[in-house]
């Protein structure tokens, strides 16, 4: 493993995120899970601590750094007792803002990127529709140009932070069928005809609010177009590499935490007069959890390094991200399940941390490209 991950700056970042998580997140997480949302004050606190804008350039109001830094933030939050649901919600701007930064539109950066990275506003990304999420090129929400506005009609669903969001970076159809007719529009909360329903009740990610959005003749100023008209699909696809890598990090970080919780429990819990860890079958189980977690981390970190050395449009980088996500998802699904098993009945209880990881992990193989869809993409990239 390269030492890019352990520079003094990155060790300091890891320590500072760990302290932030222990102080600002862990004592409140159970309450936020019950309430189904994070408080806005947490965004402001994370901005003040220099965490919210990691991996965004300072020129647009970020804290600087790159994908390795954001991976370290995720690793540290999960390892210190946080959760991937919290990360999904606190860092939704990680999927809502990059297109605006990439399009280098100064007006959009000032109106949406800076205040969000400053913890004052919240943004979401709206791609998935009730009719389907995997087939992005088939989306049907329509935006028709009318003078200096677009008039939007349609619906989005499963939108992370959509209940609280002040704006949604929304994929709409401005042109003909297929990927060539898609654009990105920033649609602001409060615009007449834009309605939000939720929070939707979910298996996991309880502290992350999830919304259904509907648009009826919503008039959106043309200034809110991100990048070129009909050029939205490329922007969405370019950002998918980082989103998938981020989800892969969430997967191996959760696997590591689930392993650590299981190892601790196995040392403490006695059955038939001996600690669980005295049983060879349990020790071997822990070794197998360790092996799969480590393999997922190595593959994902390698893909991140390749993405930084290359470009997110390079087929080899896209392939590495896809393989990393599928590898890490496979690992975490097995590891969280075995960790619950080692915890016995205690692992099935809501107050146990592993119960939350078990439920939270299930989305990782569905969001950001379902495992089957990514495997199909890999088969094309590999020429099979």
Q: For residues 370 and 381, which CB has a smaller minimum distance to ligand FAD in the complex?
A: 370
Window contacting ligand FAD (CB under 6 A); options: 37-45, 72-80, 154-162, 302-310: 154-162
Per CB under 6 A, 159 contacts ligand FAD: yes
Window contacting ligand FAD (CB under 6 A); options: 19-27, 140-148, 177-185, 367-375: 367-375
Q: For residues 202 and 306, which CB has a smaller minimum distance to ligand FAD in the complex?
A: 202
Q: Which of 151, 373, 377, 381 binds ligand FAD (CB under 6 A)?
A: 373
Residues in 10-39 that interact with ligand FAD by CB under 6 A: none
**3-class DSSP string for the chain:** CCHHHHCHHHHHHHHHHHHHHHHHHCCCHHHHHHHCCCCHHHHHHHHHCCCCCECCCHHHCCCECCHHHHHHHHHHHHHCCCCHHHHHHHCCHHHHCHHHHHHCCHHHHHHHHHHHHCCCCCEEEECCECCECCCHHHCCCEEEEECCEEEEEEEEEEEECCCCCCEEEEEEECCCCCHHHEEEEEEECCCCCEEEECCCCCCCCCCCCEEEEEEEEEEEEHHHEECCCCCHHHHHHHHHHHHHHHHHHHHHHHHHHHHHHHHHHHHHCEECCEEHHHCHHHHHHHHHHHHHHHHHHHHHHHHHHHHHHCCCCCHHHHHHHHHHHHHHHHHHHHHHHHHHHHHHHHHHCCCCHHHHHHHHHHHHHCCCCCHHHHHHHHHHHHCC
Per CB under 6 A, 366 contacts ligand FAD: yes
Residue 92: CB minimum distance to ligand FAD, A: 7
Q: For residues 223 and 372, which CB has a smaller minimum distance to ligand FAD in the complex?
A: 372
Q: Give the span between the Cα atoms of 25 and 17, in whole angstroms.
A: 10
Q: From residue 201 to residue 240, what is the string marking binding to ligand FAD with x (rule CB under 6 A)? A: -x--x----x------------------------------
Q: For residues 49 and 378, which CB has a smaller minimum distance to ligand FAD in the complex?
A: 378
Q: Which of 158, 215, 233, 240 binds ligand FAD (CB under 6 A)?
A: 158
Active site residue 288: no
- Active-site residue identified among 243, 333, 338, 353: 243
Entry field: residues in the chain: 384
Residue 126: CB minimum distance to ligand FAD, A: 5
Contacts with 32 (C-beta within 8 Å, 6 or more apart), sequence order: 38, 39, 86, 207
Residue 263: CB minimum distance to ligand FAD, A: 29
Q: For residues 124 and 250, which CB has a smaller minimum distance to ligand FAD in the complex?
A: 124
Residue 233: CB minimum distance to ligand FAD, A: 14
Q: At CA 165, angle to CA 34 and CA 332, rounded to 5? A: 55
Q: Which of 133, 198, 199, 232 binds ligand FAD (CB under 6 A)?
A: 133
Per CB under 6 A, 126 contacts ligand FAD: yes
Q: Give the span between the Cα atoms of 82 and 76, in whole angstroms.
A: 8
Per CB under 6 A, 367 contacts ligand FAD: yes
Q: For residues 27 and 130, which CB has a smaller minimum distance to ligand FAD in the complex?
A: 130
- Which single residue brings its beta carbon nearest to ligand FAD? 133
Q: Which of 15, 120, 223, 372 binds ligand FAD (CB under 6 A)?
A: 372
Q: Which of 83, 89, 105, 128 binds ligand FAD (CB under 6 A)?
A: 128
Per CB under 6 A, residues contacting ligand FAD are 124-128, 132-134, 158-160, 202, 205, 210, 363, 366-367, 370, 372-373, 376
What residues act catalytically? Answer: 243
């Amino acid at each position: 493993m390269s030492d890019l991950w352990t520079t003094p700056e990155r060790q300091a970042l890891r320590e500072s995120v760990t302290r932030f998580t222990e102080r600002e997140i862990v004592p409140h997480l159970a309450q936020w899970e019950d309430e189904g949302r994070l408080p806005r004050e947490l965004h402001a606190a994370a901005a003040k601590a220099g965490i919210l804008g990691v991996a965004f350039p300072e020129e647009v109001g970020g804290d600087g750094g790159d994908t390795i830094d954001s991976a370290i933030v995720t690793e540290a939050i999960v390892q210190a007792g946080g959760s991937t649901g919290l990360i999904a919600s606190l860092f939704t701007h990680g999927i809502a803002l990059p297109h605006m930064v990439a399009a280098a539109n100064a007006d959009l950066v000032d109106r949406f990127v800076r205040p969000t990275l400053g913890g004052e506003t919240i943004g979401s990304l709206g791609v998935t529709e009730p009719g389907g999420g995997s087939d992005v090129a088939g989306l049907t929400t329509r935006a028709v140009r009318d003078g200096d506005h677009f008039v939007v009609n349609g619906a989005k669903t499963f939108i992370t932070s959509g209940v609280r969001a002040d704006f949604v970076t929304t994929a709409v159809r401005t042109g003909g069928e297929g990927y060539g007719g898609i654009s990105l529009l920033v649609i602001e909360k409060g615009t007449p005809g834009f309605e939000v329903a939720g929070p939707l009740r979910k298996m996991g990610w309880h502290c992350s609010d999830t919304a259904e959005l509907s648009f009826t003749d919503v008039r959106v100023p043309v200034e809110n177009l991100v990048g070129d008209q009909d050029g939205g699909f490329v922007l969405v696809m370019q950002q998918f590499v980082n989103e998938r890598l981020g989800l892969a990090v969430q997967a191996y970080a959760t696997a590591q935490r689930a392993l650590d919780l299981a190892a601790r429990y196995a040392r403490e819990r006695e059955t038939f007069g001996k600690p669980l860890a005295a049983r060879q079958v349990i020790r071997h189980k822990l070794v197998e959890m360790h092996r799969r977690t480590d393999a997922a981390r190595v593959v994902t970190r390698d893909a991140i390094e390749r993405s930084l050395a290359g470009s997110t449009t390079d087929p080899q980088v896209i392939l590495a991200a896809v393989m990393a996500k599928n590898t890490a998802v496979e690992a975490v699904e097995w590891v969280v399940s075995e960790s619950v098993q080692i915890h016995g009945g205690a692992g099935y209880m809501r107050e146990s941390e592993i119960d939350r990881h078990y439920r939270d992990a299930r989305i990782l193989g569905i969001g950001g490209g379902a495992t089957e869809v990514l495997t199909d993409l890999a088969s094309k990239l590999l020429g099979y």
